[in-house]
Chain A
Amino acid sequence: EDQVTQSPEALRLQEGESSSLNCSYTVSGLRGLFWYRQDPGKGPEFLFTLYSAGEEKEKERLKATLTKKESFLHITAPKPEDSATYLCAVQLDKLIFGTGTRLQVFP
């Protein structure tokens, strides 16, 4: 069965404390892996798409990487405004989402 698992469920960081979020997947025929950010009361907002193992993408303090079995979202020197739920999803004929990691960054 196609499955996407994210860990940890929740993460509390001090401002400036770097960390990584994990997304592991078991799917056949991966066409792409997506990272989204979701703020309370809002829909998910697109961050990155990764297509093949070894690929990396960066945006400000965020960097996403992909292997054959998992993806990491690295957050370098986070700020309070990075607080959100981060969702990963794999593309089959539609997106299959993980349950997300709720990140809180404290000043």
Chain B
Amino acid sequence: GAGVSQSPSNKVTEKGKDVELRCDPISGHTALYWYRQSLGQGLEFLIYFQGNSAPDKSGLPSDRFSAERTGGSVSTLTIQRTQQEDSAVYLCASSLGQAVNYGYTFGSGTRLTVV
């Protein structure tokens, strides 16, 4: 597609439930990133995928968070046993590669509210 697509755009879930957030990157972009943006905060890195390399999971806040990228394209971020502090906007970005001159293109995000 023309841009990075994320779904759903909004998700309200009950504490303790699992949620899946989806990211469809720009076709041909080999790098894919997940960030989290809490109210009034900057973007917090979660995880990135580059081609067939092992993902960098260093930003995942706990083992309740996991992500996968199938076929080098679509990615799913899963949060198990959601907590209220997980409420945030989850942003996905993709780029042609890791080289610094490849800018990131962001999706519009998924706003997650845990009640």
Contacts and interface: CB of A to CB of B under 8 A. Distances in A.
Interface of A: 4, 31-32, 34, 41-46, 49, 51, 87, 89, 91, 93-100
B41 interface: yes
A72 B48 CA distance: 28
B4 A43 contact: yes
Given A43-B91, A43-B108, A49-B100, 16 more contacts: A32-B100, A34-B103, A34-B104, A41-B108, A43-B107, A43-B109, A46-B104, A49-B101, A89-B43, A94-B56, A95-B33, A95-B43, A97-B35, A97-B43, A97-B44, A99-B40
Contacts of B7: none
B100 A99 contact: no
A32 B103 CA distance: 10
Interface of B: 4, 33, 35, 40-45, 48, 56, 91, 93, 98, 100-101, 103-109
Contact of B42 (A51, A93, A100): A100
Contact of B106 (A32, A44, A91): A44
B83 to A, nearest CB: 23
B106 A94 contact: no
A87 B45 CA distance: 14
B106 A51 contact: no
Contact of B98 (A42, A49, A93): A93
A42 B98 CA distance: 23
A20 B42 CA distance: 19
Given A43-B93, A93-B56, A94-B48, A49 B108 contact: no
B53 to A, nearest CB: 11
A34 B33 CA distance: 16
B17 to A, nearest CB: 24
Contact of A91 (B41, B43, B100): B100
A46 B105 contact: yes
A58 to B, nearest CB: 17
Contacts of A93: 56, 98
B74 to A, nearest CB: 17
